[in-house]
Amino acid sequence: MDFALSEEQRQIRDTVAEFVDEEVVPRAAEIDESDEFPADLIDEMAELGLMGMPFPVEYEGAGLDYHSYAIGLAEISRGSGGLGTVVAAHTSLAGNMLYEFGDERQREEYLTALNTGEDVGAFALSEAEAGSDVPAMTTTAEPDGDGYVVDGGKLWISNGSVADTITLFAKTDPDAGRKGISSFVVRPEEDDGFIVEGTEDKLGDKGCPTAELRFDDMWIPEDRRLGEEGEGFVQALKTLNGGRITIAARSVGIARAALNEAKSYAQEREQFDHAIADFQAIQHKLADMDTKARAAELLMHEAADLKMRDEDYIKEAAQAKLYASEISREVANEGIQIHGGYGYTKDFPAERFYRDAKLSEIYEGTSEVLRNTIAQQLLDE
């Protein structure tokens, strides 16, 4: 088993790391404070090919393997957890829905614009009463001539207020449960009845707008449906499964940021005439932080490897996301502890890493749901 990065993978890592260090890290505190969508950084990432990393060049993607994509996303998230979510929702969710389930015309028209960064993507699945329980959604899409009329609303939609292309899930047969859910492409600027109710004031993940959306007699043409009617639930599960690898990557990036900051602080901060890095208690914390981050990274790459080989990776993706998200929060917590009182202030980024890390335990499958998934897969083996 070869754990070494290829030359191309190292180049991707170094290129993204340089961009993050020069452009993202210096603005991370400002993005966190203002909570404004960093459109200019998105444009710069698009120029570097970072908005369509895992998709083929025929659709203007970068044509990278999933290891490279995960590495790139981890680096972006090291600079800003919110920016990591922007890219993950745009690519792993909206982009992947179009790539996996769109027809050739839909890929050429919508996926290409996402990959070039001309458009921003979002994935509208969750509702107020339908988070983990997807079939409980109440948004409907009723046939109307050569299209559908959509009514309802969605909640917790990353990029929802800034997206140009949204993959939307709605019930085309409300009596059929999970088999009555279909998916569609929504174009907010074109579709009358698309309404942004507002955005959430969140604990962390700043810079990525999390929107509440409403659809009021919104008509969309039939050729915007992805696949056949009734396939939406399965499409969502497959998409979220791949997305969990990238949330693991986001978590790894935040954990690395927290570790790097804590290590630097420990080497500079003096108490009792010694740098606190000289004390065994601090050394043990740093050792545990690094070990956890490395283990999470390996789980992430194992799931990515299975996905690339087109093998079943449901359990591995769930394990990578579960473990990486939890250790990210743990590592960030220890980073605050190493900083002491300073870690509890906004003068240092340690507290931001903690706030950003927590979200990974909630979205794209809560830790509780993922444990159920892992257990079910284990018992079925």
CATH assignment of the domain containing 327? 1.20.140.10
- Token digits of residue 166: 């949204």
pLDDT recorded at residue 1: 66
Domain for residue 26, yes or no? yes
pLDDT at 3 over 90: no
Task: Based on the fold, state whether residues 237 and 212 are members of the same structural domain.
Answer: no
Q: Write out pLDDT tens, residues 255-302.
A: 999 999 999 999 999 999 999 999 999 999 999 999 999 999 999 999
Q: Write out pLDDT tens, residues 184-198.
A: 999 999 999 999 999
Task: Based on the fold, state whether residues 274 and 362 are members of the same structural domain.
Answer: yes
Q: What is the CATH number of the domain that holds 59?
A: 1.10.540.10
Domain for residue 1, yes or no? no
Task: Based on the fold, state whether residues 18 and 96 are members of the same structural domain.
Answer: yes
Task: Based on the fold, state whether residues 115 and 148 are members of the same structural domain.
Answer: no
Task: Based on the fold, state whether residues 170 and 265 are members of the same structural domain.
Answer: no
Task: Based on the fold, state whether residues 277 and 139 are members of the same structural domain.
Answer: no
Q: What is the mean pLDDT of the chain?
A: 98
pLDDT recorded at residue 2: 78
Burial of 270 (0-12, 13-18, 19+ CB in 10 A): exposed
The number of folded domains in the chain is 3
Domain for residue 2, yes or no? no
Task: Based on the fold, state whether residues 53 and 26 are members of the same structural domain.
Answer: yes
| Domain end position, chosen among 120, 145, 177 | 120
The reply to whether 212 belongs to the active site is no
Task: Based on the fold, state whether residues 192 and 323 are members of the same structural domain.
Answer: no
Task: Based on the fold, state whether residues 278 and 291 are members of the same structural domain.
Answer: yes
Q: What is the CATH number of the domain that holds 203?
A: 2.40.110.10
Domain for residue 300, yes or no? yes
Handedness of CA 37, 43, 45, 49 (dihedral sign): positive
Domain for residue 75, yes or no? yes
- Token digits of residue 230: 């009734």
**Residue 345 · residue 351 · CB < 8 Å:** yes
Tell me the whole-structure pTM to 2 decimals: 0.97
> Which residue in 361, 364, 368, 381 is the catalytic one?
364
Radius of gyration of the chain (CA): 21
Task: Based on the fold, state whether residues 49 and 130 are members of the same structural domain.
Answer: no
Task: Based on the fold, state whether residues 66 and 189 are members of the same structural domain.
Answer: no
Q: Write out pLDDT tens, residues 25-83.
A: 999 999 999 999 999 999 999 999 999 999 999 999 999 999 999 999 999 999 999 99
Nearest partner of 334 among 290, 297, 367, judged by Cα = 290
Domain for residue 309, yes or no? yes
| Domain end position, chosen among 70, 95, 120 | 120
Task: Based on the fold, state whether residues 291 and 212 are members of the same structural domain.
Answer: no
Q: Write out pLDDT tens, residues 199-226.
A: 999 999 999 999 999 999 999 999 999 9
Domain for residue 304, yes or no? yes
Q: Write out pLDDT tens, residues 303-340.
A: 999 999 999 999 999 999 999 999 999 999 999 999 99
Residues whose CB falls within 8 Å of the CB of residue 96, separated by 6 or more in sequence, listed in order: 54, 239, 242, 243
Task: Show the domain range for 196.
Answer: 122-229
pLDDT at 351 over 90: yes
Q: What are phi and psi of 165, to 5 degrees?
A: -135, 125
| Domain end position, chosen among 202, 229, 256 | 229
Q: Write out pLDDT tens, residues 110-149.
A: 999 999 999 999 999 999 999 999 999 999 999 999 999 9
Domain for residue 31, yes or no? yes
Q: Could you tell me the pLDDT band of residue 250, with boundaries at 50, 70 and 90?
A: very high
